[in-house]
Amino acid sequence: MSRLDLFINRMVSQRACLNHAAALTADLQGPVFELGLGNGRTYHHMCQIMPSRDIWVFERAIASHPDSTPPDERVMLGDVFETLPEAANRFPEGASLIHADLGGHNAQKNDEFARRVSPLIEPLLASGGLMVSSDRMYFDGLAEIDLPPDAVPGRCFIYQR
Ligand SMILES: C[S@@+](CC[C@H](N)C(=O)[O-])C[C@H]1O[C@@H](n2cnc3c(N)ncnc32)[C@H](O)[C@@H]1O
């Protein structure tokens, strides 16, 4: 499989899983978290499919497309190893949906990062909430659920509390 194939599969799967998770959590209270803004493509999509929900962005340096830049008051700026613990105090009700796309091009590094960040993400999810990730996560108390039919297995993961 070429790098182009992998990239396309990741994009298609992100969109499919975000659409699926947004629909399944539509009736839940609690904010939505976007971990890793990057160019802002997934953030822009999340704003479009969840216009009435509060979306908070976690990013160490904002460098997104102008059309996909969150308002300052909805950004938790800094390293997620510092901002995720802060979010646990700030949002005691927990997030209804968390999307994480924090990785780079090195699969082994992404996996090591996922193992370290999983324990910080797990307590932030509200009961019934969903966590969508581009990398396999390592949770003790969340269950991995089936992907929607239009997602590519292994390119995206969904977990539920
Ligand atoms: C692959 S990009 C996200 C792409 C985004 N989903 C999009 O559609 O444009 C990953 C982002 O995660 C951010 N990131 C990676 N590690 C981080 C960390 N430890 N704390 C905060 N942000 C981090 C990077 O700065 C980068 O902007």
End-to-end CA distance of the chain: 33
pLDDT digits (tens, 9 = 90+) for 55-68: 999 999 999 999 99
Q: What is the mean pLDDT of residues 89-111?
A: 96
Task: Give the closest residue to 28 by CA, choosing from 113, 98, 106, 117.
Answer: 98
| Backbone φ and ψ of 126, nearest 5° | -70, 165
Domains and CATH numbers, the chain: 3-160 (3.40.50.150)
Pocket test for ligand 1, best of 37, 42, 44, 120 (most atoms within 8 A of CB): 37
Confidence of residue 75 (pLDDT cuts 50, 70, 90): very high
Site residues for ligand 1, CB cut-off 6 Å: 36-42, 59-61, 79-80, 101-102
Nearest residue (CA) to ligand 1, atom 3? 38
In eight-state DSSP terms, residue 80 is H
Nearest residue (CA) to ligand 1, atom 13? 36
pLDDT reported for residue 151: 98
Confidence of residue 142 (pLDDT cuts 50, 70, 90): very high
Confidence of residue 52 (pLDDT cuts 50, 70, 90): very high
Mean pLDDT (the chain, rounded)? 97
